[in-house]
C-alpha cells in the first residue's frame, strides 16, 4: 500500500510533503521508520533530522523546523508522529501550500483521516503525497501473509498460515513480528509448517480457535470440549474475548451461505469473502445446523458475549461459560 513511497525514496525521488493517515498503523509505521532511519545517512541525520510528537508539538515549531535549510546535506527530514493528537494541526496548511524544496515532511496521522470538506486535504493532495490506509479484510490476511513471507524468501503451508492468522487476527504488525521471531529460529530452513507455528509462536496446532470452530461446525462435542478444557488450563490460548468474535464471524458467514448458490463453492467463497480453504467448514455447519439453527447460534453468541463482559454470569468463569454455550449450540 505504501511500498511505492519507499521505492521512490530508494531511487532518490522525493516529494516535499507526505501525509499518512487511516486505520492501518502497520503501513504508516513502515514509511515513518524508513524516513527516520534510511533517507539520511547517520552523519547527516545528526544535523538534519527533526522529530516531533503530536501531543507535545506546537504547530509553529514544526513549521519553523520545516523552513530551515539543511546543513551540509542535500535535504533535511522532519517527522511529525501521532499528528492526530496535535492541536491546531490545520495550521500546518500555509507551509504545505508553500513547502521548502529541500525539506521532506512526513506526517503520521493514525486511526482516522482528515475531513475532506476542509481545505487541508485538498492542499496536501495538490502539493504533496497523501495516503489513506485501510484495515485489511480478514479474508485477505492469508494471502497477504504468504506474500510477505515470499518476499523474504520463505514459504508456508496453507494450514500453518490459517492457524497463524486465525489466532492473531487483523493485526499486521503483530503478524510480522511473530514471523520475524519464527524465521530467526528456522536455522536455515525456508519452508514453514504448523509445527513451526506451534513451537516458535506458541499456538497449539491441536487446541486453538480454528480447531474449535471446525469442531463446532461438525457438531463434534467431545472434540470441542477437549479444546475448551485446554483453554481453561491455558487462558492465553483462547480467552473468551477472542473466541466469541471469531465464532460470531464464522456463523455470520454461514448464515450468508443460505443466500448463495450452494453448487458454486468458489463463487460462494468470493461472495462470503472467505478463503476457499475454509469453505468445507462453512458448508458443514450450514448442512448440520440449518438456517434456523444458525440463527439460534448467533443469538446464543450475542447472549454469551454479554455474559463474557460480566452480565448475568452467576459466578461462572469464562471456561465454564464457553462449555455451556457450545453444549447449547449443539443441542439444537
Q: Tell me the pLDDT tens digit for each residue of 35-44.
A: 999 999 999 9
Output phi, psi for 249, to 5 deg.
-65, -40
Q: Tell me the pLDDT tens digit for each residue of 221-234.
A: 999 999 999 999 98
| CA distances, 95 to each of 21, 100, 109, 265 (Å) | 19, 8, 17, 54
Length of the chain: 332
Percent of the chain with pLDDT over 90: 74
Q: For the whole prediction, is pTM greater than 0.85?
A: no
Query: Which pairing describes strands 17-22 and 129-133: parallel, antiparallel, or unpaired?
Result: parallel
- Would you state the cell numbers that stand for residue 83, as one nine-digit string? 499528528
Instruction: Count CB atoms within 10 A of the CB of residue 81.
Output: 22
All structural domains of the chain, each given as residue ranges with its CATH number in brackets, are 3-133 (3.40.50.300), 138-201 (1.10.8.60), 209-331 (1.20.272.10)
- Would you state the cell numbers that stand for residue 188, as one nine-digit string? 536455515
Interaxial angle between packed helices 25-37 and 172-184, expressed in degrees from 0 to 180 and rounded to the nearest 10? 60
Continuous segment of H or E residues that includes residue 17: strand 17-22
Which residues, including other chains, have CB under 8 Å from residue 196's CB and lie 6 or more apart?
160, 182, 185, 186
Whether the CB-CB separation of 79 and 50 falls below 8 Å is answered with: yes
Strand partners, 20: 108, 131
When the pLDDT of each residue in the chain is averaged and rounded to a whole number, the result is 92
Q: Tell me the pLDDT tens digit for each residue of 124-153.
A: 999 999 999 999 888 789 999 999 999 999
Give the C-alpha separation, 329 to 332, whole Å. 6
Of the pLDDT bands very low, low, confident and very high (cuts 50, 70, 90), residue 1 is low
Q: Tell me the pLDDT tens digit for each residue of 109-132.
A: 999 999 999 999 999 999 999 999
Strand partners, 156: 192
Whether the CB-CB separation of 133 and 23 falls below 8 Å is answered with: yes
Q: What is the per-residue pLDDT for 314?
A: 63
Amino acid at each position: 500500500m505504501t511500498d511505492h513511497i519507499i521505492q521512490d525514496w530508494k531511487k532518490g525521488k522525493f516529494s516535499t510533503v507526505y501525509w499518512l493517515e487511516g486505520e492501518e498503523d502497520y503501513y504508516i509505521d513502515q514509511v515513518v521508520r524508513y524516513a527516520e532511519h534510511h533517507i539520511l545517512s547517520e552523519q547527516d541525520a545528526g544535523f538534519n533530522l527533526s522529530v516531533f510528537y503530536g501531543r507535545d508539538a506546537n504547530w509553529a515549531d514544526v513549521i519553523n523546523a520545516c523552513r530551515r535549510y539543511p546543513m551540509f546535506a542535500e535535504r533535511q527530514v522532519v517527522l511529525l508522529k501521532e499528528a492526530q493528537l496535535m492541536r491546531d494541526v490545520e495550521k500546518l496548511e500555509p507551509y504545505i501550500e508553500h513547502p521548502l524544496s529541500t525539506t521532506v515532511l512526513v506526517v503520521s496521522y493514525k486511526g482516522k483521516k482528515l475531513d475532506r470538506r476542509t481545505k487541508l486535504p485538498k492542499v496536501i493532495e495538490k502539493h504533496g503525497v497523501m495516503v489513506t490506509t485501510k484495515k485489511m479484510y480478514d479474508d485477505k490476511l492469508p494471502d497477504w501473509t504468504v506474500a510477505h513471507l515470499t518476499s523474504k524468501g520463505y514459504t508456508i503451508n496453507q494450514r500453518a498460515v490459517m492457524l497463524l492468522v486465525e489466532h492473531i487476527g487483523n493485526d499486521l504488525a503483530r503478524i510480522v513480528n511473530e514471523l520475524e521471531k519464527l524465521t530467526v529460529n528456522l536455522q536455515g530452513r525456508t519452508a514453514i509448517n504448523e509445527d513451526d507455528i506451534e513451537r516458535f509462536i506458541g499456538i497449539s496446532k491441536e487446541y486453538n480457535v480454528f480447531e474449535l470452530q471446525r469442531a463446532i461446525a461438525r457438531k463434534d462435542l467431545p472434540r470441542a470440549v477437549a479444546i475448551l478444557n485446554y483453554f481453561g488450563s491455558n487462558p492465553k490460548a483462547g480467552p473468551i474475548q477472542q473466541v466469541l468474535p471469531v465464532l460470531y464471524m464464522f456463523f455470520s458467514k454461514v448464515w450468508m451461505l443460505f443466500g448463495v448458490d450452494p453448487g458454486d463453492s468458489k463463487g460462494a467463497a468470493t461472495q462470503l469473502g472467505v478463503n476457499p480453504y475454509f469453505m468445507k467448514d462453512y458448508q458443514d455447519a450450514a448442512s448440520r445446523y440449518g438456517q434456523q439453527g444458525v440463527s439460534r447460534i448467533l443469538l446464543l453468541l450475542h447472549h454469551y458475549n454479554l455474559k463474557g463482559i460480566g452480565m448475568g454470569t452467576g459466578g461462572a468463569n469464562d471456561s465454564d461459560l464457553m462449555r455451556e454455550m457450545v453444549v447449547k449450540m449443539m443441542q439444537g
